[in-house]
Amino acid sequence: MYNTEYSRWLEASFDDADIMPELLKIKGNDDEIKDRFAVSLKFGTAGLRGVLGAGTNRMNVPVVKQATQGLANWVKTQGGNQTVAISYDSRLKSDVFAKTAAGVLAANGINVRIYDALMPVPALSFATRYYNCNAGIMVTASHNPAKYNGYKAYGPDGCQMTDDAAAIVYAEIQKTDVLTGAKFISFAEGVEKGLIKFVGDDCKDAFYKAIEDRQVRPGLCKSAGLKLVYSPLNGSGLVPVTRVLNDIGITDITIVPEQEYPNGYFTTCSYPNPEIFEALKLGLELAKESGADLMLATDPDADRVGIAMKCPDGSYELVSGNEMGVLLLDYIAAGRIEKGTMPANPVAVKSIVSTPLADAVAEHYGVELRSVLTGFKWIGDQIAGLEAADEVDRFIFGFEESYGYLAGPYVRDKDAVIASMLICEMAAYYRSTGSSIKERLEEIYKEYGRYLNKVDSFEFPGLTGMDKMASIMTNLRENPPKDFAGYKVEKVTDYAKPEETGLPAANVLIYSLEGGATVVVRPSGTEPKIKTYFTTLGKDLAEAQAQKDKLAESLKPVLS
């Protein structure tokens, strides 16, 4: 079967000049042909994501055309504006795939609003809402290595597409022949016909205004003298992040020169993920040289941000996603109460795998903290519910432990632009009071207890990887562990059972252990890996870390 499809591709002609040389190179190599053609990239609620290359199991122009035709078929049933917004980041072929998608939509009579240069995920979410679009497309593979690209689909609310809509689009994709099934006109023809238009300055300016309106202490940064080192990690954050920071008065910004401009090869860090040290290494070196108060880095599609904070002894320390989520919740709540801008009955939202320390902080400030499934669309879903009840102003903050933050309802996905602004404002505020982010974090730990949150990943590569992951999760359900490292399991919450959790079904298991620790086991929805999340609570960091290490060691045989 896969050899037949390979032969069909050999006989086709392509807009993408890289496809045919690759097809010829693998001729006669059954393993390579099978890897590219035995399956097709699956379209889910996160859209498509895969390695660049030739074949149905790769990201390329034919696969993007096929996916977009499936999306177009769905859009045509939706009425409304018949418009789709498109943005893209710095990844290899992101601009090509974005213009290809625009050409398919235009050929189907659907209007397109596309950014004239790379812009991040939150800008796409904003444009989708601003132009009352039926859908949005973001061409990105987020923080994956350079060999990947992807295609995220958004609904009319600017939130990642719902399961139901994604299932319909996927069914339409499967009806569409990957080589011949998509309608297509060139980008230039779409522009000439008036079907493809660029996103206007009015939309861009409205995006920046929406972010800057969410300052907690407006004007503070102009006189605080904050010294910043920033890296866009060769992605889409450079223009929007520096624009907003300059607007609010942060002008002493040193950009990491090797990571300043778009570069889809990510030559300075093989894994452009602000969660890992290697991605922040060059920025840290520059921060130490310049004595910066803060170093921050946004990922290629600028929906997530990682930071290193300066400590009182002059050293720099990375801040985890959970710690930053708690720091921002604490800063926003305290600041808005002080300024009289806190809404009545404020709401914050976090994912179920994020730190319970946030619950304690929220309770302290009288904020209702809701926990939702992993995936920022579920935070967006909570905002949508508040909006439907005409209470959207109650939403003050949402976060995930994986470095995603949002403060305000102007978009429905995580936003590294507003997160960068608020982190810098928070650093400037503590600096102006003679304190620092580090000192505030230690005060929080002193007040609420020394929580430690750590995430480990187990990878399952190859065609059998997903099957292996499924069998591990089945085994955990059929043979539930009674303890981990001698810590008795007091409660198991299985999120595959919505009748027990009150949330939509999800493949997540949470083990509550004696003494208050928790272990979460969750297969990734976008990568062949199982993630384990540990929360431990000790009298100090060493005690919390020791318990985490024991728990992690006990899980290894279960996940091998």
Assess contact for 20 and 33: CB atoms under 8 A.
no
Strands (E), 147-290: 148-154, 196-198, 228-231, 253-255
**How crowded is residue 31: how many other Cβ atoms within 10 Å of its Cβ?**
8
Strand partners, 371: 350
Q: What b/e sequence results for 275-311 when a residue is b if at least 16 CB atoms lie within 10 Å of its CB, and e otherwise?
A: beeebbbbbbebbbeeebbbbbbbbbbbbbbbbbbbe
What residue type is assigned to position 81 of the chain? Answer: N
Give the whole-angstrom CA distance, residue 183 versus residue 181.
7
Q: Following DSSP, what letter does each residue of 345-359 receive, concatenated?
A: S-EEEEETTS-THHH
Give the whole-angstrom CA distance, residue 339 versus residue 337.
6
Q: How many residues does the chain have?
A: 560
Give the whole-angstrom CA distance, residue 185 versus residue 103.
5
Which residues are known to be catalytic? 142
What residue type is assigned to position 265 of the chain? Answer: Y
The backbone torsions φ and ψ at residue 469, rounded to the nearest 5 degrees and listed phi first, read -60, -45
What residue type is assigned to position 259 of the chain? Answer: Q
Q: Pairing mode, if any, of strands 347-351 and 316-319?
A: unpaired
**How crowded is residue 360: how many other Cβ atoms within 10 Å of its Cβ?**
16
